[in-house]
Amino acid sequence: MGLVILTGFMGAGKTTAGIELGKKLNLPVYDTDQLLEEKHRMKVKEMFAEYGEEKFRNFETEMLQSLSDSPAIVTTGGGAVIKEENRHVLKTKGQIFFLHCDFDVLYERLKEDTARPLLKEKSKEQIEKLYESRLACYLDGSVTINTTGKTPEDIADDIISRL
């Protein structure tokens, strides 16, 4: 089976759906942001502040390359797929699912979030532009799962039906 990889924009439900999917398939769940925080002993927003986005994306690439091919659920950070190298690595390691959610729903989930460095002091229009700039990357080599209005259980069941 390899890895079941969940990608998508911030707030799309990757982490919660990934946890539910792991329970249903009895597989371990790895969150790449959490793995990076453990490895570097700092929060993602601290890594962005100290090293900048480019260096953070390099850390992300190293993390993705180091993932085992053993069956597991992997939830990625919202920007992990913007690097072509990362998309290539993910395609070789397993099946990729793009968790798509209507932008207005995403925005409602994200507008009060202070933990995400790329959202800091951004307008709705700026966040939507970021979302749209990533869409092609999310779609590259993935199966699209619409998460709008769905529970984590519904999302997990939808992914299982497509494995």
Q: Is 148 annotated as a binding residue?
A: no
Q: Is 78 annotated as a binding residue?
A: yes
Q: Is 141 annotated as a binding residue?
A: no
Task: Collect all residues with Cβ–Cβ distance below 8 Å to 39 and sequence separation of at least 6.
Answer: 59, 63
Nearest Cα to 101, choosing from 1, 13, 6, 25?
Answer: 13
Q: Is 76 annotated as a binding residue?
A: no
Q: Is 14 annotated as a binding residue?
A: yes
Q: Is 13 annotated as a binding residue?
A: yes
Q: Is 11 annotated as a binding residue?
A: yes
Q: Is 7 annotated as a binding residue?
A: no
* Tokens 């979302």, located at residue: 131
Task: Collect all residues with Cβ–Cβ distance below 8 Å to 132 and sequence separation of at least 6.
Answer: none
Residues annotated within the binding site are 11-16, 33, 57, 78, 116, 134
Residues annotated within the binding site for substrate are 33, 57, 78, 134
Residues annotated within the binding site for Mg(2+) are 15
Residues annotated within the binding site for ATP are 11-16, 116
